[in-house]
Amino acid sequence: MLSGKTVVLGVTGSIAAYKIAGLASRLVKLRADVHVIMTENALNFIHPTTFESLTGNKCLVDTFDRNFQFHIAHVSLAQRADVLLVAPASANSIAKLAWGLADDMLSTTALAMSGPVLVAPAMNVRMYNQPVVQDNLARLREYGKIIIPPESGYLACGDVGTGKLASEDVLLSYILREIACKKDLSGMRVLVTAGPTREPLDPVRFITNHSTGKMGYAIARRAMLRGADVTLVTGSVSLAPPPFVRVVSVNRAEEMFEAVRERFEDQDLIIKAAAVADYAPLAIRDEKIKKQGGAMTLELGRTRDILAWLGERVKPGQALCGFSMETEALLEHSREKLIKKKADLIAANCLREEGAGFGTDTNHLVLIGRDSVTDLPLLSKDGAADRLLDELRAIWEQKNGAGGSGTDFSCPGVRRSGAFPKEGQDAGKEENADDLCG
C-alpha cells in the first residue's frame, strides 16, 4: 500500500516512545521507506538500534551528522518525505514546532517540511490540559498541522486522564489517510450502504441474511482514503467502523430507507451495497412467540425498495450504483435491475462462485453500466472497491462534463468490454457473465 512512499517518524522524550517501534514495523511491512529521527531525550527511553533494525535506515539524532548519506540531512529528508509524524510529541517538542524553533534534527526537519506534518501528543494529563499547551496545539492547527488527539486512560505516571499516546492503529490510519492513495475523489461526497438489515418477529427473533458488510465497508474505506467525504449507513455487523467516515447505524430496512432519504440529496456518488431485506413481518409481537406444536405461518410484507426510490429521485449530476447478488443468470438479471431501478451502474456478483460470496475477503464483480460491461478478476474487496469507484467516478465525470479526466484512474487496469450484446448475440467470454454461475 505504501510502496514508493517515504515516512519520517519523529520520536521525542516520552515513555510512550517504545510504541513507535511497532508502528515502524507495520509501515515497513506496507513497503514504506521509514526514517526515524530521535531527540536527545528520546534516547533515554528507547535505543536507536531498535529503529535501525526495523527500518534498515540509520536513526538520526545529530543535526550535523556527517555520516548521513544526504548533503544537508534535515533539508534532504524533508524534501523526500511524503509525511512526517511526530509521536510521541512531548510538550516541549510541541512548543518548538508551534513557534518555529529549530535547534535539533527533528525540529529543523519539521520546519523544512512542505508535506503533511502529523503531531500526536503524549504527556501527563495536567500538562496536557495547561492553557499554554492547548494554545500551542491550536497554533499548530492554524498552520495546517494535523493533531492526533491523545486517548484517556491510566498514564505511566499513575494519573488517570487524557494524555495517552493514540494507539498504533490510530497513528497508522492517519498516515494512510494522508499518503496511501491519490486524492482523486477529493471534494466529493459519497454515500455507502452496507451490511444486512434485521426485521424483528418479537423481542428475541428476527429475519436477516448472510451479509457481513465487508464489501460496503471496503468501499467506504477506499473512498475515504481517496479523499472523499464519506457517509456509511450500516446494518448490524461485527466490523470496526472505518476511520474518518461518518457512520449511521440502523437495524430495519425502514430505518435504512429513512437514513438514506435524509442524506442522499447532497451526495455525488451513492453506492447501495447493503443486503436489504425484501420482506418483513407485518406484525411484530411485543412478547416472545412461544413454541407450539405443528407448523407456524408468518405473514410478510414488502419492504421499501431503496434503490428504486433513489433511481426515481437522483439529480442529473449524481451517480447511482446498486449491487446484485445472483445464483443464476447473473448478467440477465443484473441488466434488468439496472434498467428497472434506473441506476447508472450495477455491481453484480455470484453467490455460487468461490471467493465471491458472503463473508469472504475477496470478490469477483461484474460492473454493468448503461452501455458497457466490465468483468473484473477475482480481487481483494479493497481492490474491487477501488475498481468500482473508478468506474462510478468516470460516470459522474461524464454526467458533470469533467472533460474526460475519468480515464486518469487511481487504480489502473479497469477493463471495459463495450456495449451489451444484442438479444441472441453471442456475448463472448468477457461479456457472458452468466458463465460465472456455472
Q: Report strand pairing: 269-272 vs 189-194.
A: parallel
- Written as one letter, the residue type at 279 is Y
Distance from C-alpha of 124 to C-alpha of 142, rounded to nearest angstrom: 24
Burial 290-317 (b: 16+ CB within 10 A, else e): eeeeeeeeeeeeebbbbbeebbeebeee
Residue in the structure block whose three cell numbers are 524533508 = 78
Which 3-state string (H, E, C) describes 101-167?
CCCCHHHHHHHHCCCCEEEEECCCHHHHCCHHHHHHHHHHHHCCCEECCCEEEECCCCCEEEEECCC
- Written as one letter, the residue type at 159 is D
Catalytic hit among 157, 181, 350, 411: 157
H-state helical runs in 191-245: 214-225
Distances in whole angstroms, Cα of residue 126 to Cα of each of 122, 130, 151, 213: 11, 6, 14, 42
DSSP string, 336-382: HHHHHHT-SEEEEEETTSTTSSTT-SEE--EEEESS-EEEPPSEEHH
Residue in the structure block whose three cell numbers are 522524550 = 13
Classify residue 8 by its DSSP letter.
Answer: E
Residue 437 bears catalytic tag: no
| Contact status, residue 74 vs residue 105, Cβ threshold 8 Å | yes
CA 239-86-49 angle, 5° bins:
95
Distances in whole angstroms, Cα of residue 62 to Cα of each of 12, 34, 276: 14, 18, 59
Residue in the structure block whose three cell numbers are 455507502 = 192
Give the helix/strand (H/E) hosting 263.
helix 253-263
| Contact status, residue 27 vs residue 7, Cβ threshold 8 Å | yes
Catalytic residues: 157
